[in-house]
Amino acid sequence: MTCGPFRPQSAKDKLRAARSGAHVVAISRDPAQAEGLRALGAHEDHPDPAAARQPVSAVLDNVGGQYLVDAFATLSAGGTLYSVGRSSEADVVLPPDALLGDEGRHDRSIRTFFLFGAPTTDFSTDLTWLAGEIAAGRLDPGISWRGPWTRHSEAVEALLGGRLHGKAVLDLE
């Protein structure tokens, strides 16, 4: 299950999962994203984690807040939620029973990720792979706004206002 917008750092994992035969479930508040999520390999798309077929083995969460709480509740025994972002900026508040291991919910975990956690990490192989996938047309980077550098404030306002569901690209002239 993936919660939140497509992110380049998780694209490789999402595509590999779909290509390896995993049943991929995507979560997006925007119904207009459904076609794009399916193009990335999602078999299902839903507006919130609770609507997904359960249980799931793994979750990549980009949103945090209540989405993370709801996604954690969908995990099967031994499942892992990878928290790779917090776009909602909302606090994660797990109810006390969320951490119980009864009814097939034992051995679940939450793992965190920070892109720059290890400053010496070399991302050249991953970035080369992503660039190749984009160049071959197998991966859409999700650019939803493009304009000149002089319109940067418009792009920032749209991103911060939640009106863009994708990337903003500024062209240097």
2-112, CATH topology level: Rossmann fold (3.40.50)
Residue of higher predicted confidence among 22 and 80: 80
Q: Is the pTM of this model over 0.75?
A: no
CA 168, CA 156: separation in Å to the nearest integer?
A: 8
What are the tens digits of pLDDT across the range 37-79? 887 778 888 888 888 877 888 888 888 899 899 999 989 999 9
For the chain, the structural domain boundaries read: 2-112, 142-173
Which pLDDT score, from 0 to 100, does residue 13 have? 58
Q: Does residue 92 contact residue 65 with C-beta atoms inside 8 Å?
A: yes
Q: CB-based contacts of 161: which residues, under 8 Å, 6+ apart?
A: none
What distance in Å separates the CA atoms of residue 111 and residue 109, rounded to the nearest whole number? 6
Parallel/antiparallel/unpaired status of strands 75-83 and 109-112 = parallel
pLDDT at 159 over 80: yes
In the chain the beta strands, taken as DSSP E runs, fall at 2-3, 25-27, 44-46, 56-61, 75-83, 109-112, 143-148, 167-171
